[in-house]
Amino acid sequence: VDADGVVTLTGDRYGLCGQKLPYLLPWVERTMGIAIPLTGLHTPHYPPAIPESRLPQSVAQALAQILAPEQILTEGVQRLRRGHGQTQEEMYAIKYGTLARVPDVVVLPHSEAQVVALMELAQRHDVCLLPYGGGTSVTEALRCRADEDRCIIAVDMAKMNRILWVDPINRMACIEAGAVGRHIQAALKSQGFTMGHEPDSIEFSTLGGWIATHASGMKRNKYGNIEELVLDMNVVTPKGVMSRQQVAPRESAGMDVRRAMFGSEGTLGIITQAVVKLYDLPAVQQYGSVIFPSFEDGVAFLYELTQKNVLPVSVRLVDNIQFQLSQALKGEKKGLQAFKSQAEKLFVTRIKGFDPERMVACTMVYEGSEEEVARQQKEVLALAAQHRGINGGPQNGERGYQLTFGIAYIRDFVMNHYLLAESFETSVPWSRVLERCDRVKRRVEREHAARKLPGRPLITARVTQMYATGVAVYFYFAYFFKGVADPSGTYSAIEAAAREEILAAGGSISHHHGVGALRRAFLPKIMSEAALTLRAETQRAFDPKGVLTANCQPNHKAAQH
Ligand SMILES: Cc1cc2nc3c(=O)[nH]c(=O)nc-3n(C[C@H](O)[C@H](O)[C@H](O)COP(=O)(O)OP(=O)(O)OC[C@H]3O[C@@H](n4cnc5c(N)ncnc54)[C@H](O)[C@@H]3O)c2cc1C
């Protein structure tokens, strides 16, 4: 950010990079009623003090019997990096505080046999294993319990990243669990396939992490969520390797314990490989966007899309605040570009009568053959028009999707300017979407006001996934914390209140991020005593010695409470 408050995103990784963003900070200041300091910053001091390793000599020796020296990392920063994910609590702690407990050693197995040997070692030496994929967890699922006295070994799956086989006839591929999304995407593309799972974290998250968190990609309308894409998997558990003889397209073989792995968050075993479905690469991919006069119109349009089954691979609806944010993140316009943009604005606001403080945008991705895409676009625009929607063009659509890749960095950057931000998501039936979005926003505003925090909170919603029965909604909440005694704790308290409001308004604890340590306390509010007991007993059956509990209480009901 320069002396005039103009932001430039450095690097060359994203569409936004290199552009000057003169409208961003003025928009934030106006919307939040604050003055963002450009000097006297909240300067981070990464890396923080890192707890000493408690690796016993006996365990170090046992590890050296299994792994080569370069597969064992003991350096502080390496251990720190495997001891956190990307929540605001974790980012704030590593930038401005400390983590009380991090893994004592990091290991990078090359093969399932090495993972088996590590599991045996852990049981023999009474130490913990913490599976680590891409570190993109947003639920504190990687954060170590401060009171864990046993040695913690982070098992980083990065070296188990191979595509083991591709079966083009039966449309399946077997992939090691540490493979990162963007690498899977590139490797399958070179053979003319895609698995179609594209979470916004695809650059860093892994196949094993997707299964362990019960993830959902932005193209689920066509390809499904992770549980629909995975046909089989191998898991190294404390009881041995869970695997099957053959992969069937579908099977009725009694209770399927593999299902328990979706959402297991590293507590039942270490996933080493999985067989996934393959789809042909689409011949055509196109973006699109529609502007609606209000969020209500946009939601009604989405409902109709699902009921009529006219579903582009991805559809997202942002509310007015996020629409404004996306405008504020546009580069400076000059000459003809500025004239065109002004003319478009006048058309939408003066001629169509849209209120800039209420209008919203819907972005789409279409995939398929040329005819399929053309037909879908026509149907979508016709339905949009019935809900007072105006075609916003492909460029705005593409920008919307590119933005979600860079947004995490913007969150980390604005922290230095005393702004703390985070997203949280849920899912809700259609009939409660509007009420629930409104209730959560009002609750955050009330909580913010009750604490007499500076300025106004920024709270905004985006519908990201749609089903015949309802939708997934992301909320972003940001607040200005200059002069606030406990910025991160205050944020957490407000987010917890918002989560209570979500549950009270009929929303789920999470649509796809999971529970981790962050939301465990809410489980008794959504599950019966019997359900909690069965979960805890399943965990105990898989892991009687509590080897996989570095992130939660070992093997009793408190593990789930
Ligand atoms: C910017 C950003 C965007 C995101 N967008 C999405 C999105 O669109 N959709 C979505 O679903 N999520 C999203 N997330 C959340 C996150 O990316 C997912 O939860 C992801 O599935 C985690 O994968 P990972 O490989 O990074 O796992 P990690 O963060 O390393 O670990 C997450 C959990 O999985 C366990 N685990 C990891 N690997 C294994 C393994 N091999 N065996 C057993 N357990 C394992 C860990 O112990 C931990 O409990 C996003 C996160 C960020 C930061």
End-to-end distance of the chain based on CA atoms, in angstroms?
A: 44
- Give percent helix, percent strand, percent coil of the chain, each to the nearest 5: 40, 20, 40
- The answer to whether the beta carbons of residues 19 and 68 sit under 8 Å apart is no
Q: State how far the Cα of 75 lies from the Cα of 97, in Å rounded to an integer.
A: 19
- The amino acid sitting at 465 is Q
Answer yes or no: 401 catalytic: no
Q: Please tell me what DSSP assigns to residue 91.
A: H
Task: Locate 20 and state its tokens.
Answer: 């000057």
Nearest of 238, 325, 166 to residue 544 by alpha carbon: 238
Element (H, E) at 102: none
Q: Given 474, 476, 479, 491, which residue is catalytic? A: 474
Helix 487-504 vs helix 433-450: crossing angle, to nearest 10: 150
pTM for this predicted structure: 0.96
**Radius of gyration of the chain measured on its C-alpha atoms:** 24
Nearest of 217, 339, 335 to residue 279 by alpha carbon: 217
Provide the sign of the torsion angle of the four alpha carbons 324, 329, 331, 332, taken in this order. Answer: positive
Q: State how far the Cα of 154 lies from the Cα of 541, in Å rounded to an integer.
A: 22
The rounded Å distance from CA 160 to ligand 1 centre is: 16
Ligand 1 binding pocket mutation candidate from 138, 156, 226, 271 (most atoms within 8 A of CB): 138
Beta strands in 284-339 (DSSP E): 284-292, 314-318
Which residues neighbour 401 within 8 Å (Cβ) at sequence distance 6 or greater?
A: 218, 287, 314, 363, 365
Q: What is the pLDDT of residue 314?
A: 96
Ligand 1 binding pocket mutation candidate from 89, 137, 180 (most atoms within 8 A of CB): 137
- Mean pLDDT per segment of 10 residues, for the chain of length 561 residues? 90 84 94 95 96 98 98 98 97 96 98 98 98 97 96 98 98 98 98 96 97 97 97 98 92 94 97 98 96 97 96 96 90 69 72 88 96 96 96 89 80 93 96 95 98 98 96 97 97 96 92 96 94 95 96 58 36
- Report DSSP letters for 375-431, one per residue: HHHHHHHHHHHHTT-EE--HHHHHHHHHHHHHHHHHHHHHHTTTEEEEEEEEEEEGG
Q: Which residue has a Cα nearest atom 53 of ligand 1?
A: 136
Q: What is the pLDDT of residue 92?
A: 97
223: helix, coil or strand?
Answer: helix
Q: What is the pLDDT of residue 542?
A: 96
Q: What is the pLDDT of residue 513?
A: 97
The rounded Å distance from CA 270 to ligand 1 centre is: 14
Q: What is the pLDDT of residue 554?
A: 65
Q: State how far the Cα of 111 lies from the Cα of 63, in Å rounded to an integer.
A: 14
The rounded Å distance from CA 515 to ligand 1 centre is: 11
CA 271 to ligand 1: nearest atom: 42
Element (H, E) at 162: none
Q: Which residue has a Cα nearest atom 2 of ligand 1?
A: 201
Q: State how far the Cα of 482 lies from the Cα of 453, in Å rounded to an integer.
A: 9
Provide the sign of the torsion angle of the four alpha carbons 135, 114, 107, 141, taken in this order. Answer: positive
- Number of neighbours of residue 539 by Cβ within 10 angstroms: 24
The neighbouring-strand residues paired with 476 are: 423, 460
Which residues neighbour 331 within 8 Å (Cβ) at sequence distance 6 or greater?
A: 19, 20, 21
Q: What is the pLDDT of residue 556?
A: 43
- The answer to whether the beta carbons of residues 552 and 520 sit under 8 Å apart is yes
Chain position carrying tokens 């193209």: 219
Cβ < 6 Å from ligand 1: which residues?
Answer: 85-86, 130-138, 141-142, 157, 177, 199-201, 205-206, 208-210, 212-213, 215-216, 218, 265-266, 270-271, 408, 512-513
